[in-house]
Amino acid sequence: MNRKDFIRVSLLAGAGAMIFPGCSGNRQSIPNYLKDYGDAYKINPREAALQWFKEAKYGMFIHYGLYSLLGRHEWVMYNEKIHVAEYAQLKERFTADKFDADFITDLALEAGMKYINITTRHHDSFCLWDTKYTDFKSTNSPAGRDLIAELSDQCNKKGIALFLYYSHGRDWRHPDAPNNDQWGGAARPNYETQEPFYNYGDDHDLNRYLGFMTNQVDELLTNFKDVAGIWLDGFSTPASGNRSLFKCQELYDLIHSKQPQVLVSYKQGMLGTEDFLAPERKYEKGEVMEKPLEICDHLQRKGWGYTKTQDGKHKTKDEVIKMLKKANDYPANLLLNTGPLPSGEMHPEDVKVLREVGQEIRTKGWEGVLNS
């Protein structure tokens, strides 16, 4: 039996659907990734998901989008002040011809990971699913594919939890996104000439943008079943002003109403009502943690999206194990990022290291790895 068949047989054994009545007034099948938490799920799906999350330890973060084609960091549009129309031309080169959700999910399992988090829409506003709220999406590119649907299907089949990253509050394309006149936090690139795509003055309406975001998050939770979480990013933009204008609690309530197990995070915490905290690289909010914690870090030395200058410099197995130990000391999960190549292929350096770490976990067990 080859590696892939072994993984699939192991996962499918005993993974039949379980049905319980009465969750939120409906009959809810238990998501595959929560099948070992059935009793808790029957009582409270979100509490069951939180219990699972606290024990998950390790997940894969994927930053993939138009910025990957340039290989100069996921903030290339902002850093290099690329105007909207020029940046949009990248869509015509987006093929994702080597994006393989089957391979990605098998790799996560080999690495010992329990979940995957992917950028459905980063700050450049390009969407990796077939959204009806914009044409700036993967299905309207040469790829012609809904990458989130493909990954969702594979995760659900194999018992891997899927978190959906969504850029909230920071958007470098939408005409009514937060602007530089009122908001900081890298709201928009500091163009030397006015960007004609944006609305200004009385024509600018933040509520139109909030409606766009709400519709898209609603759509993600409508289109894809058994979503583990919505992972919001863009913290410093709304946090630089009156964050109440962004109606985050209304969005959280919508998310929780759509699927009973879904968890919500907003980096280190926008309101304090998030289900878990997800800061970058470290946590410095005090010794007592009232929320479950996840630390995100990357396999490149710098940057989350593919950065060509980092080739040959990615982190090693021993460095990843050190990150796992550091996260465990909080305690926290480690969400470890990889930036696929322009084609969507997983970076070979990262594939090698993730497999090596997975082998270490299988050989020594989690206790052995964390205490070595």
pTM of the model: 0.92
Sign of the C-alpha dihedral, residues 107, 113, 115, 121? negative
pLDDT band at residue 6 under the 50/70/90 scheme: very low
Q: CATH 3.50.50.60: does it fit domain 45-370?
A: no
**Contact status, residue 178 vs residue 239, Cβ threshold 8 Å:** no
Give residue-wise pLDDT tens across range 73-101.
999 999 999 999 999 999 999 999 999 99
Please report the pLDDT score of residue 286 as a whole number.
59
pLDDT band at residue 169 under the 50/70/90 scheme: confident
Residue 43 half-sphere exposure toward CB, CA atoms < 13 A: 7
Cα–Cα nearest to 70, from 230, 279, 303, 362: 303
**pLDDT: is 171 or 285 the higher one?**
171
Q: What percent of the chain has pLDDT over 70?
A: 91
Give residue-wise pLDDT tens across range 97-131.
999 999 999 999 999 999 999 999 999 999 999 99
Q: Which tokens is 34 given? A: 């929560």
Q: Which tokens is 13 given? A: 């054994």
Q: Could you tell me the residue ranges of all domains in the chain?
A: 45-370
Give residue-wise pLDDT tens across range 288-320.
568 999 999 999 999 999 999 999 999 999 999
**Mean of the per-residue pLDDT values of the chain:** 92
Q: Which tokens is 77 given? A: 């549009």
Give residue-wise pLDDT tens across range 252-265.
999 999 999 999 99
**CA atoms of 224 and 255, how far apart (whole Å):** 13
For the cut 60, the answer to whether the pLDDT of residue 185 exceeds it is yes
